Chains A and B, each alone.
Chain A
Amino acid sequence: MKNLKNQLHKINGECYYWIIDFLKAHQANINGQSSVILYNIIQTFFAGQNNEMIIPVLEGKLKSLELADLENLSAIQCLKISSNQLFDENPLNDFFISLKQDFELTAHTVYNEAERRDLFTMDQQEKDDVIAEIIESAHLSFDVLHVPLLKNLSALDVLYLQAAMLEAYEKYDLLSGNSLLRTLSYLGKADLAADAAVNYLLAQQNVIGYFGQTLNDQDLESSAAILTFLELQFDCLWSLNEAGNQDFSLMELIRQEDGYIL
């Protein structure tokens, strides 16, 4: 990956200032779910900043979280927030414990490698299933080289993942492109395709900090639109930091916070 580590400080920083402004301007429309994302963004990427003014605001909102809110969030967001002390004596803690147990179990069982053809020649359904499993395995594994599904990927399979990533970005499906970018980074296949993907992703960061297309006035009234938008911010920052900084690993961070194996 070319020179990205030096740039990450600036990329993260620009996004940080946008988030602070956004939080101030739209506090009323930020619900519990959006607060999870914001909290995760700040704790993951901006923990070194002076966040004393923001954290109490977000924690106030997190107190109103309900089980249904968590069930509708992505697992990675729930895992990241789960170590927060706010939930220690909270009824939601049970949910977090079972979530972690599920993940621990999944991390040790998903890697069944059946006899299969290369991705290019599979039918669509089979391809979708295998790719989903590759992405999941790559995200959860401690050591991808010991996972049969991942260590047995052929040069053509890797090429398929790279081509599918470029295609996803071309279709402006940033989330799919990002998940493949991270997967390729975990697999150590961050080459020209990843450079091109990162270049495209960087072009999607507005000069004032956020990623993707801005929210229009109507969307700013809608908690659901804000949530989706914030999830995209997390996802883009996550992907760029995984792809551009060898020392950064979100799963490792979660494992460390939890103090036990996932």
Chain B
Amino acid sequence: MIANQTIYNSTIVKSMDWIAGNWNYFNPLNKDPFPAKIKNKSFAELTLVILLGLKYKTSIPEQVTEVLEKLNEKVLEVIKNPLFYEDFFINPGQFKPLDVALILCSLVNPDDLLLKKILQKAYDRGLFTPVVTSIFRVFESDYLLALCGLKEFPDEAKTAVALQTVLGGEFLNMVSMNRPEEYEFTHILFYLSDWGKDDISRFISEDRLKLVKEALVLLTGKNLLLKNNDLLSEYIMNMCDLNMDHAVLELAYAQLMESQREDGVFAAAAYTYQSKLGADIFKGMDNCKTDLILHYHTTFVGLMASFTYLDRHN
């Protein structure tokens, strides 16, 4: 058992309860949902929280697993509702990022026949062809489709695609590295390591792996200074997935836990959202909903970082 495990456990129970308590907001079939873009994105992200949480269920408190299982039932119910999935086929252009939700939900519920049929039909009708043609999205799509057995994604292809992303670069732009690049970095590592299941040294050279690890440590340090819980959580997951042993991992996790709000939220860094507050979607919105939109993502990611971190130490 790691030091502070009891505190960490109660921290994640609190965050999990916050999510469950706000289910109505995350439910895309709710009559008063989030604005369209956020509605789909938050729903897709919720399916990932469920997938990762249940993947690590032997390492996290039972209380959390129970909440995740209940949420899974609710999510499954939504996805299997024609009011929800018919939209994929009517408006294929609006499918993303619900394509991810569909795949992740299928991975959690591999025996659900209706879900399988929806997934297969969406694949046959070409709905998974990435419309965003950045290399990392191509990887994401092929990786997820391979996970549910719809497509082959051989190791050589993984290496070739991954090295075309920021992972194959020299990291010399670390001073001015922007957030999309950092996201590309963290996500390609999630997928290439198959969330810690695969050893990425199978795909990249020893030297490159060394460089990648060095970059991870530095970017974690930078985001610690910036108090950016979002990227910090992702780097915690990456370091756990890569089995890294560096003092900054413990420090980053401790700082993330300390930053939790009384209500369970892991707040987003002010500098990342302050400029957005004037945006149209927030005009006339009540404070509770605004707060949810601003901080749900970091809360989800913070929780996923906790699942991963606790599993690594289990």
A interface residues (Cβ-Cβ under 8 A, vs B): 118, 120-121, 154-156, 159-160, 162-164, 166-167, 169-170, 191-193, 195-197, 199-200
User: In the docked arrangement, what's the CA distance between A74 and B198, Å?
Assistant: 54
- Which of A121, A170, A192, A199 is within 8 Å of B218, CB to CB? A192
B251 within 8 A of A: yes
Closest to A191 in B: B214
A164 touches B251 (CB 8 A): no
Q: Does B221 contact A (CB under 8 A)?
A: yes
Question: Is B31 interfacial (CB 8 A cutoff)?
Answer: no
Return A144 CB to nearest CB of chain B, in Å: 21
Residues of B with Cβ closer than 8 Å to A? 170-176, 211, 214-215, 217-218, 221-222, 224-226, 246-248, 251, 255
Classify the interface of chain A: helix, strand, loop or mixed: helix
Contact A159 B173 (CB under 8 A): no
Least CB distance, A237 to chain B, in whole angstroms: 19
Cα of A189 to Cα of B214 in the assembled complex, Å:
12
Check A170–B171 contact: CB distance below 8 A.
no
Cα separation A154 to B221 with both chains bound (whole Å): 14
Q: Give me 10 A-to-B residue pairs in the complex whose CB atoms sit less than 8 angstroms apart, sorted by A's number.
A: A118-B251, A120-B224, A155-B248, A156-B247, A156-B248, A159-B217, A166-B174, A166-B218, A196-B171, A196-B173
Residue of A nearest to B222 (CB): A163
Residue of B nearest to A193 (CB): B218
Scoring B173, B222, B226 by chain A CB atoms within 10 A of each residue's CB, the highest score goes to: B222
Residues of A within 8 A of B221 (CB): 159-160, 162-163
Within 8 Å by CB of B247, from A154, A163, A195, A196, lies: A154
User: How far apart are the CA atoms of A159 and B251 in the complex, in Å?
Assistant: 12
A192 shortest CB reach to chain B, Å = 5
- Supposing A120-B224, A120-B251, A163-B221 touch, asked if A192 and B176 sit within 8 A by C-beta, the answer is no
| Cα-based distance from A200 to B174 in the complex (angstroms) | 9
Whether B173 lies near A199 (C-beta < 8 A) is: yes
Q: Which of B174, B175, B225, B255 has the most CB of A within 10 A?
A: B175
**Of A166, A195, A199, the contact of B222 (CB 8 Å cutoff):** A166
Complex contacts, B215 vs chain A, CB 8 Å: 192
Contact of A192 with B251 at beta-carbon distance under 8 Å, contacts A159-B217, A163-B222, A166-B222 already known: no
Task: Give Cα A193 to B173, complex, Å.
Answer: 10
Closest residue on chain B to residue A177 by CB atoms = B175
Which residues from A are CB-within-8-Å of B225? 160, 163-164, 167
Q: Distance in Å from the Cβ of A200 to the closest Cβ of chain B?
A: 4
Q: Which of A118, A154, A195 contacts B172 (CB 8 A)?
A: A195
CB <8 Å contact, B224 and A199: no
User: In whole Å, how far is A212's beta carbon from the nearest beta carbon of chain B?
Assistant: 15
